[in-house]
Homo-oligomer: A and B are copies of this chain.
């Protein structure tokens, strides 16, 4: 229980910092920085809840609001030190997308949606905070352009449903799916992988 809360908070922190960095890069004012941090941290969950017609989680549980608030202030004040914890941040982010993928998948199952939609909900939960963050900052969302990020979530979500067909206990299903998101993401970064390009050389020139 406590471990789950810790993971949730670490993910929220990593996502909020990604928002702070993007907002400061665009030279937004303090209110703008705060909003982009919020959107990055809770946008994916908000879209998930609206799509499945459930109450929006951060409106009922203020933990997220406090965490984003505190993270934003600390990130702005210590922004020059953020490079020192770059690795930890990357790890938090990886833990975060793995966690939110599973949460999205399980909320989809609980609401009675078919597996394909649950995988989509997991991916939306993990990735669309970043999409809305980028849109508000007038950028084409980075996950549509490069890096294996959403793909890791899709792999993990698919693993979940494949493992459900096996006699594995549900706890193991969760842990293995969670870890598979992390492994795909970490391998992609380590080997600097992207999705194969669909463009011919001629088209790119």
Contact = CB atoms under 8 A, between A and B. Distances in A.
Interface of A: 23-24, 26-33, 35-36, 46, 50-53, 55-56, 59-60, 62, 65, 76, 113-114, 116-117, 120, 131, 135-141, 143-146, 150-151, 194-199, 204
Contacts of A137: 140
Contact of A26 (B60, B65, B140): B140
Given A29-B144, A31-B150, A32-B143, 16 more contacts: A27-B145, A27-B204, A28-B144, A29-B145, A29-B195, A30-B195, A31-B195, A32-B145, A35-B150, A59-B113, A62-B116, A62-B117, A135-B135, A136-B140, A136-B144, A138-B139
A144 to B, nearest CB: 3
A114 B62 contact: yes
How many copies of the polypeptide does the oligomer hold?
A: 3
A150 B38 CA distance: 15
Given A116-B62, A150-B31, A199 B145 contact: no
A199 B117 contact: no
A31 B151 contact: yes
B144 A35 contact: yes
A28 to B, nearest CB: 5
A44 to B, nearest CB: 13
Contacts of A150: 31, 35
Given A50-B50, A55-B53, A62-B114, A33 B140 contact: no
